[in-house]
Amino acid sequence: MSLVFTSCSKNYNVTKIEGKQINISDKAASNQDIENYIAPFRKNIEKDLDSVLAYAPETLDKSKGEWQTTIGDFLANLTLQKANVVFLKREKKNIDICLLNDGGIRAILPKGNVTTRTAFEIMPFENTAIVIALKGEQIEEIANHIVTVKKPHPIAGLTFTIDKDNKVKNIKVKNEVLQLNRIYYVVTSDYLSNGGDNMDFFKKGVQSFDLNYKLRNILIDYLKDIDTIAVPSEIKIAKEN
């Protein structure tokens, strides 16, 4: 014996969608059992965030400095240093330059004990470090871009002079004169590597390497390795009078 099922084909269209808000009762919201369950996790997180990593002899911020800031130089220097360890191990090459963006720095680094919480406040985003291989022509574009936007974007490994006519000259990478046809390796954030903040020169990269290393974690790891922060004083961008 066999059974045969048949049906009529019909087309159905959505004509109306209804919804309503269901509030959590005050009783559920104040349930002591929930609070007791969450409390140990909150306590451990707060303990981790308040753990002291290093000491800052003075406050580093981005409010002072036309072309450079202490916190910008600090972040660019350490990012270049820590990212290079990973890049050299993986690719057997060295990173030449670090370029970050001023807008990505969201808080000061206050004088005194520096905690994990401080690192999260400075870099609250989940950006990762990306290394882009750029020709010297694009390095020249970087210098010109900084002068054009007039923002103290954090840089390391790159120096140049702004002349009286507001033109860029004397561009050097790690104290060597820029070569336009040479390939340079620039570490930046994944956001900037995609042309964020109008940094379209990164789109001209000939190769890219994702380090799978969050910029915030780079900062935390660096702070764990030191005792006292050395306040940067290097002149990277000179302005002629």
pLDDT tens readout for residues 139-171: 999 999 999 999 999 999 999 999 999 999 999
Residues 6+ apart with CB under 8 A from 211: 83, 86, 87, 90, 128, 129, 130, 131, 187
Task: State yes or no: pLDDT of 43 exceeds 60.
Answer: no
Residue 176 has pLDDT above 70, yes or no: yes
Helix, strand, or coil here: 231? coil
Packing angle of the helix pair 215-225, 70-91 (nearest 10 deg): 100
This prediction's pTM: 0.82
Domains assigned to the chain: 53-239 (3.90.780.10)
State mean pLDDT over 11-19. Answer: 54
Which has the higher per-residue pLDDT, 48 or 27? 48
Query: What average pLDDT does range 115-133 have in this prediction?
Result: 96
Which DSSP symbol is given to 157? S
Confidence at residue 9, expressed as pLDDT on a 0 to 100 scale: 45
Please, are residues 127 and 214 in contact by the beta-carbon 8 Å criterion? yes
Instruction: Tell me: pLDDT of 109 over 60.
Output: yes
Rounded Cα–Cα distance for residues 139 and 122 (Å):
27
Residue 175 has pLDDT above 60, yes or no: yes
Specify the range with the lowest mean pLDDT, choosing from 38-52, 82-96, 202-216, 221-235.
Answer: 38-52
How many CB atoms within 10 Å of residue 194? 14
